Amino acid sequence: MFDLKISGGIIDCSVQLSVKPRELFSFFSDANNLNLLTPKFLKFRIVSELPPVLYQGALIDYRLSLKGIPIFWRTKITTWDPPYRFIDKQLIGPYRKWHHEHIFIENEKGCLAIDKVHYSLLCGFLLNPVFVEPQLLQIFQYRASKLIELIG
């Protein structure tokens, strides 16, 4: 089961998983797993050389395509606090701001995985409600369902 809300440049998604935070953090520590959590329609691929395990300060370069438009995206891991949370921030990409916090909270059922994203666009007031928000909703729904499928 997952809960997803997107409104006003904030994404709040939580997914209950049956694993402990340490196991989930280990999964996210391998940036190659991003491929598993990204819908195929984005044609997502990592183009930078990756370390075996992510760390604070790591840079990740991606290429993706949205409606046939090629997009280059670079993120930096700005906070690395295993096994509880990490933050990635867009340095280059389609958003004016993209700040994505991943939080892992242990509970009696395993782990509550929370994604909190704060984002803004150059022409956000025009594009966000009709184009960006529906796309992000679709992407984070896919991500949550894949986490449940892969991790339980």
Is the pLDDT at 122 greater than 80? The verdict is no
Q: Provide the 3-class DSSP secondary structure of residue 20.
A: coil
Sheet holding 59-66, edge to edge: 2-7, 10-17, 110-120, 97-107, 85-92, 69-81, 59-66, 45-46
What pLDDT, on a 0 to 100 scale, did the predictor assign at position 152?
80
What pLDDT, on a 0 to 100 scale, did the predictor assign at position 36?
95
What pLDDT, on a 0 to 100 scale, did the predictor assign at position 12?
96
Kindly write down the DSSP assignment for every residue of 70-129, as one continuous string.
Answer: EEEEEEEEEEEETTTEEEEEEEESS-SEEEEEEEEEEETTEEEEEEEEEEE-TTHHHHII
CA distances from 67 to 131, 135, 145 (A): 11, 11, 23
Structural domains for the chain: 2-151 (3.30.530.20)
Give the mean pLDDT of 60-84.
Answer: 94
HSE at residue 51, side-chain half, CA atoms within 13 A, is 11
CB 98 within 8 A of CB 86: no
Spatial distance between the Cα atoms of 46 and 114, rounded to a whole number of angstroms: 23
Spatial distance between the Cα atoms of 11 and 100, rounded to a whole number of angstroms: 9
pLDDT band at residue 66 under the 50/70/90 scheme: confident
pTM above 0.75, yes or no: yes
Spatial distance between the Cα atoms of 56 and 68, rounded to a whole number of angstroms: 33
What pLDDT, on a 0 to 100 scale, did the predictor assign at position 8?
83
What pLDDT, on a 0 to 100 scale, did the predictor assign at position 1?
77
What pLDDT, on a 0 to 100 scale, did the predictor assign at position 22?
97
